[in-house]
Amino acid sequence: MTVKELVWDMDGTLLDTTPVVPAALARAVRALGGPGVDADDIVAEYWRGTPEVIMEHLVGRPLMVTETEVYYRELEGAEGAPYPGVVDVFAALRAQGRALAVFTGASSRAAGMLLRSAGLHVDVLIGGDHVSRPKPAPDGVLLAAKELGIDPVDIAYVGDSPLDLRAAVGAGSRGAAAAWGHLYDQAERADVVLSGSSAGT
């Protein structure tokens, strides 16, 4: 199987958002009358999907659209720093004429805000709001393949979380583990492990 295109996870893979996203979500939850939660509590709920889904779970009730805006106001101006090597890798891929594609469990709106703040421009952005099932379901990887116009078997999905790697398996794609990410688990099977402290190694 030849890899023709890469699809990237965002949080913990392209961007170190651990200082900003959990804090913004925690503040939003408190503002909406939910319990006090910390970064670990928030990260433990990432598997649920979009920020809206996570907030509803933690607040304990359905939220109106106007209420979910609280999170985006908290996120406004936040910067998710690219991991070392990411900018260079993106530049090299762009120079080769390769597409830059991202599938993230975050909403496409939040992802767009964070990627722009980091100076990363992508051709395809699939957010958790674009699919009916969150990772580890393969829906986002399959949708990315469709948007890229290639077969899923020709994709490698790069992500730090076991859920990312399982999504790749479900799509019939290759799974590339981003070992620098905060959710990397060496016990999770991957087709290749991108090791070291940067995306360029």
Q: Please state the rounded mean pLDDT for residues 187-198.
A: 84
Comma-separated ranges of CATH 3.40.50.1000 domains in the chain: 5-16+81-194
Q: Which of 9, 16, 139, 160 is catalytic?
A: 9
State yes or no: is 88 an active-site residue: no
* Residue pLDDT, tens place only, 6-62: 999 999 999 999 989 999 999 999 999 999 999 999 999 999 999 999 999 999 999
Which tokens in the block code for residue 161?
């979380």
pLDDT band at 199 (very low <50, low <70, confident <90, very high): low
The whole-angstrom separation of Cα 44 and Cα 146 is 30
Architecture of domain 5-16+81-194: 3-Layer(aba) Sandwich (3.40)
Strands 101-103 and 5-8: parallel
Query: Tokens 């720093």 identify what position?
Result: 81
- The structure's pTM equals 0.92
Give the distance from CA 141 to its chain's centroid: 12
* Residue pLDDT, tens place only, 67-76: 999 999 999 9
State yes or no: is 160 an active-site residue: no
3-state secondary structure of 10: coil
* Residue pLDDT, tens place only, 23-37: 999 999 999 999 999
Contact 128, 107 (CB under 8 A): yes
Identify the pLDDT of residue 195: 83
Contact 48, 134 (CB under 8 A): yes
What contacts 92, CB < 8 A, 6 or more positions away? Answer: none
Q: Please state the rounded mean pLDDT for residues 142-158.
A: 98
